[in-house]
């Protein structure tokens, strides 16, 4: 084919901003790696430790499962109660944060900023602080998880509220309902299935979180991780890991089944 | 030359897509395949470049069997066969030029293409191809920003840049309006006559088939029920292919153009 | 009479279902509450709370920067660095495993299923447990934390990547196959351009999570701002706890803002 063009070739768009972006990312990663001294060889030099560690995990100390079962049950209790209190506390907050419910601009925006700040605080950090306040007990874990849950449930729920269908709301206004009636009959029926689904999802997250809160003294199975690692009893550690995995997977399955039924 | 010998296709669910097809297609022909929905038009077309594996028989492209070709030679055979789809199948987020250049991947070594380092000759070919279908000015536009007709012309340009000897087009105009349909068909006809590219096209409209092709093949329930020139394809023949008289919507209709 | 029977039956069945659910929930809560020792709260709870609040009101500003040794800025930078290098490590592993697990890229479901299996294995491991193990391998510090985040995020990232690939349009991939492109070329010209925005968005989302995780790794000795934080908590220096938490909140907020702005631009 003769490739001589008759018309003018359009000018090629410059891609320098894209390349600059790539180079920027590369530099950030490089500096970060240097900053924390992330030399890949360090890992390989220590890979012997790794194999030693894995080797000493087997066979898992199955008997440890019986010893730690009360703590495992505590973990489940913490997740259950933490999610429940978080759910209750989320209800007013999520309505406050939804722009289509309250028309008081500053209040809504302030609530949203508050919620965003709350969401920046990691679960383990909350647990460490409440363990300091309330003492080393599952109560610290429950309080930490309650606050942590608000960040998830209220965030997801207020977004769901903002996406609801306006029709039922208008008809409620038309029949002269007050604000509470308006929420109860116009909003709640529409978001209830979503809300329950978010609560269950949060419960799944909380089970995982509750399993480690004990590391900072907030009760549950995490305490035993600390203990077993402290004694270099890696066979016990593996038993704990497997035990946690099974519980987490079981609860995920149950929760998934319920969520499927709901939606 | 394309030869199909006793080609049958039975889908895993038992549907007979093609039944004992025998065809010989010469270089430079412009062939329309017509038939009811489900007659096996797409199955036939996609068997030719082996996007579908046939169940029995043999298909040869220039004496070389594509049916028994290994991976490498399959890719080399496909390199010379362009394909145009009803829904264009362009990467919408990529530029027009990159979509056209993707027709050149099998001509270059893999590493080069992965790094997007196409030789200048390929870029020239791609730009020329775009000029031939009148969308050179869109070379650096995102494909998603083009109209349907323009997108279809990008895929024709891809086949051109590919330097395909055969173009397979599966209802290329089905999602276009009558005016754009005519432009796309004209483009294909031009490539067919100027470059001696064999064109095999599945068509829904029988009047388009009669206007553009040198040969019409009628399919019904996976069998060839007609094979002849447009002059021979009378209304009775189409009644035979469709099992009934033609309906309004199977004619594009001159007044629409 | 007869006609209303099935209706009644359905209603009775529903009522049954609700009652059962109700009883199960009540039993669950009785079990949960009865297992918790509510007397466990220490008497110092209130004074400690007051001290903490005081710490937030007048945080230890001198800790923000000190020319020598540990300070807030260095701790936060280290946290950021752990999250960044960690996410790079995850991407390197998650892309191949994610592609492997996508069912529209594999010829038999056995292949994609095994990929999915690997991903769910990675997903069940909490970052913190991984960090504890890596501390045993490479010693305490940021390096262990980076490895923990890097490995810990593979499961989630890989799953998100696989879902992105499964949602793509397969037409363009087929058209590359039709012009004779090999598997790698199909990937580069058909798959990657389509899924790239989704991959980036998923990566940024996970990076937001990484930031929060990285801030806590130090609590168990895996580097970052958590290290001075746990010392401050144990030493009851609440003004220092205050400044560290304020620092974490600000940095995480900024990262969230940048990330969500980028995600909006991409899609
Ligand atoms: N992947 C598949 N699996 C099973 N059966 C199929 C498959 N693809 C096509 N078929 C069947 O094979 C027959 C021929 O299909 P084909 O797509 O070739 O028809 P067509 O003539 O192209 O129809 P249309 O005009 O609707 O595109 C149809 O009965 C169809 O249902
Ligand atoms: Mg078809």
Q: Which domains does chain A have, with CATH numbers?
A: 13-56 (no CATH), 63-262 (1.10.3720.10)
Tell me the nearest-neighbour CA distance from B137 into chain A, angstroms. 6
Give B6-19 pLDDT, tens digit per residue.
999 999 999 999 99
Contacts of A10 in chain B (CB under 8 A): 136-140
The answer to whether B33 and B204 have CB atoms below 8 angstroms apart is no
Q: Cβ neighbours of residue B213 under 8 Å, at least 6 residues apart?
A: B30, B31, B32, B201, B230
Buried b (16+ CB within 10 A) or exposed e, A117-131: ebbbbbbbbbbbbbb
Distance CA C19, CA C13 (A): 10
The answer to whether C250 and C260 have CB atoms below 8 angstroms apart is no
Cα dihedral C229, C231, C234, C238 in deg (nearest 10) = -50
pLDDT bin (cut points 50, 70, 90) of residue C107 is confident
The answer to whether A204 and A251 have CB atoms below 8 angstroms apart is yes
The answer to whether C91 and C204 have CB atoms below 8 angstroms apart is no
**Does the Cβ of B45 fall within 6 Å of ligand 1?**
no
Would B47 be classed as within a structural domain? yes
Q: Which residue has the tokens 């796309």?
A: B184
Contacts of A122 in chain C (CB under 8 A): 212-213, 215-216
Who wins on pLDDT, A215 or B244?
A215
DSSP B247: P
Give the CA distances from residue C220 to residues B28, B225, C231, in Å, rounded to whole numbers and listed in that order: 75, 78, 11
B147 CA to centre of ligand 2 in angstroms: 22
Q: What is the average per-residue pLDDT within B104-123?
A: 93
Pairing state between β B16-25 and B2-10: antiparallel
Q: What is the average per-residue pLDDT within B188-202?
A: 94
B191 CA to centre of ligand 2 in angstroms: 23
Nearest to B110 among C169, C171, C182 (CB): C182
The answer to whether C246 and C59 have CB atoms below 8 angstroms apart is yes
Q: What is the average per-residue pLDDT within C89-107?
A: 92
Q: C102 has which bridge partners?
A: none
Query: Which of C107, C178, C196, C200 best tests the B interface by mutation, with the highest count of B CBs <10 A?
Result: C178
Distance CA B104, CA A102 (A): 59
List the structure tokens of B121. Answer: 């000759």
The answer to whether C42 and A80 have CB atoms below 8 angstroms apart is no
Contacts of C189 in chain B (CB under 8 A): 91, 94, 98, 102, 105, 113
Distance CA A199, CA A189 (A): 16
Number of domains in chain B: 1
- Report the pLDDT value the prediction gives residue B245, as an integer from 0 to 100: 64
Cα dihedral B119, B123, B126, B127 in deg (nearest 10) = -160
B35 CA to centre of ligand 2 in angstroms: 10
- Report the pLDDT value the prediction gives residue A186, as an integer from 0 to 100: 80
SS3 C253: helix
Contacts of B131 in chain A (CB under 8 A): 5-7
- Atom 3 of ligand 1, nearest CA residue: B11
CB pair distance less than 8 Å for B158 and C182: no
Would B253 be classed as within a structural domain? no
DSSP C190: I
The answer to whether B164 and B81 have CB atoms below 8 angstroms apart is yes
Q: Is A12 on the interface with B (CB under 8 A)?
A: yes
**Does the Cβ of B148 fall within 6 Å of ligand 1?**
no
Distance CA A94, CA A151 (A): 10
Tell me the nearest-neighbour CA distance from C142 into chain A, angstroms. 6
CATH of domain C60-266: 1.10.3720.10
The number of C-alpha atoms within 13 Å of A207 and in the hemisphere containing its C-beta is 23
List the structure tokens of C80. Answer: 């950021």
Phi, psi of B244 (to 5 degrees): -170, 175
B184 CA to centre of ligand 2 in angstroms: 18
List the structure tokens of B30. Answer: 């412009």
CB pair distance less than 8 Å for C132 and A229: yes
pLDDT at B51 over 50: yes
- Chains sharing 3 or more CB pairs under 8 A with chain A: B, C
pLDDT at C50 over 80: yes
Who wins on pLDDT, C82 or C55?
C82
The answer to whether A168 and A209 have CB atoms below 8 angstroms apart is no
**Does the Cβ of B41 fall within 6 Å of ligand 1?**
yes
Task: Determine how many CB atoms are found less than 10 A away from the CB of residue B198.
Answer: 20
Distance CA B201, CA B212 (A): 10
Tell me, rounded to whole angstroms, the distance of Cα B140 from its chain centroid. Answer: 25
Query: ipTM, 2 decimals?
Result: 0.89
Nearest chain C alpha carbon to B77: C180
Cα dihedral B62, B67, B68, B74 in deg (nearest 10) = 70
B41 CA to centre of ligand 2 in angstroms: 6
The answer to whether A250 and A196 have CB atoms below 8 angstroms apart is no
Contacts of A1 in chain B (CB under 8 A): 125, 128-129, 160, 163, 195
Q: Cβ neighbours of residue A6 under 8 Å, at least 6 residues apart?
A: B131
pLDDT bin (cut points 50, 70, 90) of residue C20 is confident
- B137 is in which domain, residue-wise? 2-248
Q: Cβ neighbours of residue B77 under 8 Å, at least 6 residues apart?
A: B49, B61, B64, B66, B69, C180
**Strand (E) or helix (H) holding B60:** strand B56-61
Q: Is A247 on the interface with C (CB under 8 A)?
A: no
Phi, psi of C205 (to 5 degrees): -60, -45
**Does the Cβ of B39 fall within 6 Å of ligand 1?**
yes
Pairing state between β B56-61 and B198-202: unpaired
Whole-number percent of chain B with pLDDT over 90: 81
**Residues in chain B, how many?**
257
Chain B residues with a Cβ under 8 Å from any Cβ in chain A? 121, 124-125, 127-129, 131, 136-140, 160, 163, 195
Task: Determine how many CB atoms are found less than 10 A away from the CB of residue A257.
Answer: 11
**Does the Cβ of B218 fall within 6 Å of ligand 1?**
no
The answer to whether B161 and B149 have CB atoms below 8 angstroms apart is no
Contacts of C180 in chain B (CB under 8 A): 74-79, 105-106
Whole-number percent of chain B with pLDDT over 70: 95
Q: What is the average per-residue pLDDT within B33-61?
A: 94
Distance CA B74, CA B70 (A): 6
Cα dihedral B140, B143, B147, B151 in deg (nearest 10) = 100
**Does the Cβ of B40 fall within 6 Å of ligand 1?**
yes
CB pair distance less than 8 Å for C185 and B89: no
CB pair distance less than 8 Å for C248 and A245: no
- Report the pLDDT value the prediction gives residue A155, as an integer from 0 to 100: 93
**DSSP helix, strand, coil percent of chain B (3-state; round to 5):** 40, 25, 35
CB pair distance less than 8 Å for B140 and A13: yes
Rounded to the nearest integer, the mean pLDDT of chain C is: 89
Query: Which residue from A29, A72, A3 is spatially nearest to A239, judged by alpha carbons?
Result: A72
Who wins on pLDDT, C3 or A188?
A188
The tens-digit pLDDT sequence of chain A (263 residues) is 677 788 788 888 888 888 999 999 999 999 999 998 888 888 888 788 888 888 888 888 898 889 899 999 999 999 999 999 999 999 999 999 988 888 788 999 999 999 999 999 999 999 999 998 888 888 999 999 999 999 999 999 999 998 887 777 777 777 777 778 888 888 888 889 889 989 999 999 999 899 989 888 888 898 898 888 888 888 999 999 899 989 988 988 888 888 777 66
- pTM reported for the whole predicted model: 0.87
Q: How many helices (H) and strands (E) does chain C have?
A: 12, 0
Pocket test for ligand 1, best of B21, B42, B55 (most atoms within 8 A of CB): B42
| HEC readout, chain A | CCCCCCCCCCCCCCCHHHHHHHHHHHHHHHHHHHHCCCCHHHHHHCHHHHHHHHHHHCCCCCHHHHHHHHHHHHHHHHHHHHHHHHHHHHHHHHHHHCCCCCCCHHHHHHHHHHHHHHHCCCHHHHHHHHHHHHCCCHHHHHHHHHHHHHHHHHHHHHHHHHCCCCHHHHHHHHCCCCHHHHHHHHHHHHHHHHHHHHHHHHHHHHHHHHHHHHHHCCCCCHHHHHHHHHCCCHHHHHHHHHHHHHHHHHHHHHHHHHHHHHC
The answer to whether C183 and B96 have CB atoms below 8 angstroms apart is no
The answer to whether A78 and A213 have CB atoms below 8 angstroms apart is yes
CB pair distance less than 8 Å for A122 and C215: yes
CB pair distance less than 8 Å for A28 and C245: no
- Report the pLDDT value the prediction gives residue B257, as an integer from 0 to 100: 44
Specify the CATH number for the domain of residue B83.
3.40.50.300
Give the CA distances from residue C260 to residues A160, C156, C174, in Å, rounded to whole numbers and listed in that order: 18, 19, 33
Distance CA C67, CA C82 (A): 22
SS3 B22: strand
Buried b (16+ CB within 10 A) or exposed e, C116-138: bebbeebbbbbbbbbbbbbbbbb
**Does the Cβ of B37 fall within 6 Å of ligand 1?**
yes
Would B53 be classed as within a structural domain? yes
Task: List the domain boundaries for chain C.
Answer: 60-266
Distance CA C42, CA A133 (A): 8
Give the ligand 1 atom nearest the CA of B43: 18
Would B15 be classed as within a structural domain? yes
Nearest to A7 among B125, B131, B195 (CB): B131
Distance CA C212, CA A124 (A): 9
Distance CA A216, CA A230 (A): 14
pLDDT bin (cut points 50, 70, 90) of residue B255 is very low
Contacts of A130 in chain C (CB under 8 A): none
Would B209 be classed as within a structural domain? yes
């Amino acid at each position: 084919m003769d490739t001589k063009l008759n018309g003018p070739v359009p000018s090629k768009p410059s891609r320098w901003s894209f390349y600059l972006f790539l180079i920027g990312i590369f530099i950030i990663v490089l500096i970060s790696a240097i900053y924390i001294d992330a030399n890949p060889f360090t890992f390989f030099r220590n890979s012997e430790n790794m194999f030693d560690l894995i080797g000493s995990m087997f066979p898992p100390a199955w008997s440890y499962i019986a010893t730690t079962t009360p703590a495992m049950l505590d973990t489940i209790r913490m997740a259950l109660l933490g999610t429940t209190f978080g759910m209750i506390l989320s209800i007013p907050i999520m309505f406050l944060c939804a722009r289509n419910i309250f028309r008081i601009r500053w209040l809504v925006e302030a609530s949203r900023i508050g919620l965003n700040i709350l969401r920046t605080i990691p679960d383990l950090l909350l647990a460490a602080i409440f363990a300091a306040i309330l003492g080393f007990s599952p109560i610290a874990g429950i309080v930490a998880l309650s606050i942590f849950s608000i960040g998830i449930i209220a965030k997801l729920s207020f977004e769901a509220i903002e996406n609801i269908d306006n029709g039922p709301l208008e008809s409620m206004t038309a029949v002269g309902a007050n604000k509470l009636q308006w929420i109860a009959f116009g909003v709640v029926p529409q978001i209830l299935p979503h809300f329950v689904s978010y609560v269950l999802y949060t419960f799944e997250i909380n089970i995982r979180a509750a399993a480690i809160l004990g590391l900072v003294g907030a009760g549950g199975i995490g305490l035993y991780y600390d203990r077993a690692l402290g004694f270099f009893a890696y066979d016990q550690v593996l038993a704990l890991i497997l035990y946690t995995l099974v519980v987490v997977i079981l609860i995920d399955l149950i929760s998934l089944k319920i969520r499927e039924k709901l939606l | 030359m394309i030869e199909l010998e006793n080609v049958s296709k039975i889908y895993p669910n038992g549907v007979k897509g093609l039944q004992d097809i025998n065809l010989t297609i010469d270089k430079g022909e412009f062939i329309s395949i017509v038939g009811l929905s489900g007659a096996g038009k797409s199955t036939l077309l996609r068997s030719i470049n082996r996007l579908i594996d046939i169940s029995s028989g043999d298909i040869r492209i220039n004496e070389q069997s594509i049916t028994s070709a290994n991976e490498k030679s399959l890719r080399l055979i496909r390199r010379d066969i362009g394909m145009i789809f009803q829904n264009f199948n362009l990467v919408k987020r990529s530029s027009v030029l990159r979509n056209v250049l993707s027709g050149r991947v099998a001509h270059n070594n893999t590493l080069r293409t992965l790094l997007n380092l196409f030789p200048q000759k390929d870029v020239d070919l791609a730009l020329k191809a775009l000029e031939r279908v009148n969308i050179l000015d869109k070379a650096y536009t995102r494909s998603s920003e083009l109209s349907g007709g323009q997108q279809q012309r990008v895929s024709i340009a891809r086949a051109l840049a590919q330097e395909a000897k055969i173009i397979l087009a599966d209802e290329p105009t089905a999602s276009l309006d009558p005016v754009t349909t005519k432009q796309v068909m004209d483009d294909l006809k031009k490539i067919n006559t100027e470059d001696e590219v064999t064109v095999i096209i599945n068509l829904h409209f029988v009047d388009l088939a009669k206007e553009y092709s040198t040969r019409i093949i009628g399919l019904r329930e996976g069998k060839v029920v007609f094979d002849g020139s447009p002059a021979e394809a009378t209304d009775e023949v189409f009644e035979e292919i469709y099992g009934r008289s033609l309906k309004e919507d199977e004619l594009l209709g001159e007044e629409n153009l | 009479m007869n006609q209303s029977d099935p209706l009644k039956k359905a209603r009775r069945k529903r009522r049954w279902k609700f009652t059962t659910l109700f009883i199960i929930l009540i039993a669950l809560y009785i079990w949960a509450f009865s297992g918790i020792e509510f007397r466990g709260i220490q008497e110092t709870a209130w004074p400690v709370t007051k001290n903490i609040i005081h710490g937030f009101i007048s945080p230890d500003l001198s800790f923000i920067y000190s020319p020598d040794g540990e300070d807030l800025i260095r701790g936060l930078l280290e946290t950021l660095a752990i999250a960044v290098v960690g996410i790079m490590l995850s991407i390197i592993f998650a892309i191949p495993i994610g592609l492997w697990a996508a069912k529209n890229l594999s010829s038999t479901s056995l292949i994609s299923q095994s990929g999915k299996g690997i991903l769910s294995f990675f997903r069940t491991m909490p970052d913190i447990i991984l960090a504890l193990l890596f501390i045993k391998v490479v010693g305490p510090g940021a390096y262990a934390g980076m490895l923990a985040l890097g490995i810990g995020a593979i499961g989630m990232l890989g799953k998100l990547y696989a879902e992105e690939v499964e949602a793509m349009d397969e037409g363009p991939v087929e058209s590359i196959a039709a012009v004779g492109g090999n598997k790698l070329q199909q990937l580069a010209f058909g798959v990657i351009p389509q899924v790239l925005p989704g991959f980036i968005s998923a990566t940024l989302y996970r990076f937001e999570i990484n930031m929060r995780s990285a801030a806590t790794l130090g609590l168990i000795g895996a580097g970052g701002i958590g290290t001075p934080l746990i010392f401050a908590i144990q030493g009851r220096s609440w003004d220092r706890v205050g400044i560290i938490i304020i620092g974490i909140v600000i940095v995480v907020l900024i990262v969230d803002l940048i990330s969500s702005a980028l995600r909006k631009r991409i899609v």
